[in-house]
Structure 1
Amino acid sequence: MIDLAEDKPTNPLLRIGAQPIALTAAALLLLIAGVTSMAIWRAYTGHAPEADRVVTSRLLQARTAQASEQLVEKTKGLEATQQESIDQLQVVQDQLQTVKRLLAMQQSDTKRLSEQVATLNESIDGLRQSFASVRATEAETPSVTRRKPARRAHASARHHKSRS
């Protein structure tokens, strides 16, 4: 048969595992000692994690507020620039409308003047043709024109004779 006395564990960790309350108490004491030493060290050096967190959060809030103010200022600047651009665009559109009206007036004046020039050209052509036909008529009857003054002279001589 197997002897149970020989099966006793020779490992010391197995003997400690047999007494769990003592092991738990020792672990708890180590934990409390560690936490206490950390608290004493932080109190001595003046660093508290809550204070660090508060300071960090306040810095973040200040940076956020500053960034927000900068965004508001930039937005206002963009709005002002946009309004100026709109005003300038309105001025340009008004000027464009004025130029369009002036161009339309100039075009109508040009058309009217072109029509007047065409009418004058027609009148001048008519006068040229009339003058040419008068010259042609004078060229065909040059003796008649010369006779008229001679007749007058002849008639004047008759008139003088009848008076005498």
Structure 2
Amino acid sequence: MTRKQRRMTMIASAGAVLALSAGLVAYALRDSIVFFYGPTEIVEKGLTPGTRLRLGGLVGEGSVIRSPGQKVSFTITDAKTTVTVNYTGLLPDLFREGQGVVTEGVLEAPGRFRADSVLAKHDENYMPREVADALKKQGHWQPGDAKAGADAATPAAPAK
């Protein structure tokens, strides 16, 4: 075998090992790559308590309960399923009932979630594309209420 053939064999072997390892990593992370799960998806997938994930949806109307020590309890819904979220800390300024949020934390039990962080939508007219898609899937999307993704760049007329 010539020197050039050995070098090409070594490069091909390294490329095959790299492709195999990338494939194994992608396979192992196939469920973790999702930006967030909706409440219905959590129930359908049968995720076990202790699973770390992101949960997204709309904050339930009348569900925000504030307790001493910056403890907050609220529900996240996709209009089909509701999950109760417990969070300790300061909420974003834009956090409101009926608005889209994404929380990150641990599923404590079916229907209960302990959040480490809460992310609210960035302005009055924006909803994360994934939340809008989930609402469209459930049949609860109301065009004109909020704009998703790239449509958020165009401001809506102020409410009077």
TM (norm. structure 2) is 0.25
Q: Which structure has more strand as a fraction of its residues?
A: 2
Q: Which structure has more helix as a fraction of its residues?
A: 1
**Could you say which structure has the larger radius of gyration?**
1
Q: Compare relative contact order (CA 8 Å, sep 6+) and give the higher one, 1 or 2.
A: 2
